[in-house]
Structure 1
Amino acid sequence: MAPKKKLSDHKRKLITRLNPKSPISEQYRTIRTNIQFSSVDKDIRAILVTSPGPSEGKSTTVANLAVVYAQQGKKVLLVDADLRKPTVHYTFNLTNTFGLTTVLAKQANLTDTVVQTNEEKLFVLPSGPIPPNPAELLGSKAMDDLIEDILQEFDIVLFDSPPVLAVTDAQILANRCDGTILVVSSGKTEFEQAAKAKESLLSVNGTILGAILNNKKVKKDQYYYYNHEE
C-alpha cells in the first residue's frame, strides 16, 4: 500500500490542475505573468527551476508552473533534469524506463520518449534511468542539441534540476537556459544558503529571473503556498 500512497501524495501536489481556482493556483499564475514580463529584450522560453538545498519545493513548483503555462495555451515540455533524485514521473504517474538519459545516450529519440499528460498541451520528458555521470551528460553537446530540438517543437521548456549547493548540475543547466528561478523555503532556507546559491548561478552567467518563497503561511485563509517537497 505504501507505493500507492506515495503516488497519491505526489499527484496532490498538482494543485493548479486539481483546484485551478484556489488561491495557491492564482499565485502560480502570478509567477507565470512575472516571468513573462521579466525580460523585454527576449522571450523567456527555456526556464530552470532549482533550490539551494533539498526539500525546498522546487519540483512541486516546476510541475505547477508547467500546468499554468499549458492552461494559457502554450505547448509545454517539463523535463526532469534531476538525474540524481528524479520525481517528475511520480507526480504524473509515469514509468521512468525511458527519458532524458536515454535520449542523450541516443538509445531513444525525443518524439517517442516525450509523454503527453492529462493536461492538454503539457508534455513530460522523465529523467530516464539514473546515470553514473549526470553532470557530464547535462554538459554535453548532445544536451545542447536536445534543447535546440525541444525549442523547435515546444513554446516553453521547464527543467527540474538538483539543488544548486549539492552538485554542479544546476549551474551547468543555468548557462543553457534563458532564466533560472530559485525556490527557497520559508523558515528553512538560511539567508547565507540562498545568497551562496545565487552567486553560484551568477558565476556561470546564469540569468536569475527571481526567487519564489515557498511554505509561507497566509494568514487570511490559513493556506500554505505549498506543502513539503520530495
Structure 2
Amino acid sequence: MMFGMKKNKLDSTSQKHGVNLITYNHPQDVVAEQFRTIRTNIQFTAVDKKIKSIVFTSSEPSEGKSTVSNNFAVTCANQGSKVVLIDADLRRPTIHKTFGLDNKVGLSNYLLGNAKLDEILQPALVRNLYIIPSGPIPPNPSELLGSVRVKDLIKELESKFDMLVLDAPPVNTVTDTQVLATVVDGVVMVVPQGIAMKAGVRHARESLELVHAHIIGAILNRVTVQKSVYYGGEYYGAEKK
C-alpha cells in the first residue's frame, strides 16, 4: 500500500514547540489532514490483528522518517489513543530535540539495565502522547536492540498503550531496523519523491522481507504538484502494490 503526502509546510514548520510538528502547530493544514488520512488507512490495513506497534524507517538517511513518525504519533494521540513515541535511532537521535526533552536517560539506559521504564518515559506537549528518548548513544546499538529486553519492553508498553511508534535508523545503513522489525506489528517505509533511489528502496524492502517483517506500506513524502501527475494527481490515499 502506498500513502502519498503533498509537500507543504512539512519541511518548514514554525519553531513554536518543535521542528516539523505540523500536526501540532498547524492542525488544520492540508498536510496535517494527510496525516489523519494515513492514520485511518493504516488502521484499516489490520484485518486479522490490530496494529499496536509500528516502526517507521527509510532506505537512506535524511529522507524524512523522523518527521513522519513524530507527526503520525501526534495525530494518533489527538485521536484519543494513548501513544508512546520511541526514539529507536540510537545512532542519530532527534526526537528529544523536536519535543524539547532531556536525553540524559532513555532507551539505551533501559536496555543496559541502568533505568526502569518509569524513569525513561516522559510526557510530551500533546495530551495522550509520551516519549521515550534514545538516551546516550551506546557503542553497540544493534546488540542492544536485539536483546531480550527490547521484546520485554514492547510487550509491557503494548499492555499500557494503544499505539507504539518507533523511529528507527535507515534500513540500508545498519541492521538495527531489521532487528526491530521482528518484534513489532508492522513497518512503514518513508520514501521521498525525487530523492530516494528505486534500487535503494527495493534493497531496503528486500532486507525487511528477509527477516519476515510485516511491511504495511510506504509513505511517499515531499510530493509536489508537478510530480503528482505521475501518481494520478493524488496527494494522499492508498494504492495497492
Q: Which ranges of structure 1 fall in alignment gaps of 5 or more residues?
A: 1-6, 226-230
The CA distance in 2 between the partners of 1:117 and 1:141, in whole Å, is: 27
How far does residue 8 in structure 1 lie from its aligned partner after superposition?
3.7
How far does residue 112 in structure 1 lie from its aligned partner after superposition?
2.2
Do the aligned partners of 2:107 and 2:133 also contact (CA within 8 Å) in 1?
yes
Aligned to 2:4: none
Q: 1:9 to 1:90 in 2, by over 3 A?
A: farther
Look up the equivalent residue of 1:98 and give its one-letter code.
Answer: V
Aligned to 1:158: 165
Q: Tell me: higher relative CO, structure 1 or 2? Use CA pairs within 8 A at least 6 residues apart.
A: 2
How far does residue 105 in structure 1 lie from its aligned partner after superposition?
1.3
1:203 to 182, 201, 210: 210
Aligned to 2:116: 109
Aligned to 1:228: none
Aligned to 1:172: 179
1:85-118 per-position Cα deviation (integer Å, ceiling 9, x unaligned): 0000011011110000111112111112111011
Do the aligned partners of 2:87 and 2:94 also contact (CA within 8 Å) in 1?
yes
Do the aligned partners of 1:48 and 1:173 also contact (CA within 8 Å) in 2?
yes
How far does residue 12 in structure 1 lie from its aligned partner after superposition?
3.2
The CA distance in 1 between the partners of 2:98 and 2:117, in whole Å, is: 20
Look up the equivalent residue of 1:151 and give its one-letter code.
Answer: E
Which aligned pairs between 1:1-230 and structure 2 lie closer than 5 A?
8=15, 11-218=18-225
The CA distance in 2 between the partners of 1:8 and 1:212, in whole Å, is: 24
Do the aligned partners of 1:88 and 1:126 also contact (CA within 8 Å) in 2?
yes
Do the aligned partners of 2:16 and 2:25 also contact (CA within 8 Å) in 1?
no
The CA distance in 1 between the partners of 2:202 and 2:166, in whole Å, is: 21
Look up the equivalent residue of 2:104 and give its one-letter code.
Answer: T
Do the aligned partners of 1:183 and 1:211 also contact (CA within 8 Å) in 2?
yes
How far does residue 9 in structure 1 lie from its aligned partner after superposition?
9.1
The CA distance in 2 between the partners of 1:12 and 1:141, in whole Å, is: 33
1:150-171 per-position Cα deviation (integer Å, ceiling 9, x unaligned): 1111110000000000000010
Aligned to 2:3: none
Instruction: Give 4+ residue runs of structure 1 displaced > 6 Å after superposition.
Output: none
The CA distance in 2 between the partners of 1:207 and 1:135, in whole Å, is: 20
Aligned sequence identity (%)? 49
Do the aligned partners of 1:10 and 1:90 also contact (CA within 8 Å) in 2?
no
Q: Which ranges of structure 2 fall in alignment gaps of 5 or more residues?
A: 1-13, 227-234, 237-241
Q: Alignment length, in residue pairs?
A: 215
Q: Using structure 1 for the length normalisation, give the TM-score.
A: 0.90
The CA distance in 1 between the partners of 2:16 and 2:197, in whole Å, is: 27
Secondary structure of 1:137's aligned partner: helix
How far does residue 143 in structure 1 lie from its aligned partner after superposition?
0.8
Secondary structure of 1:158's aligned partner: strand
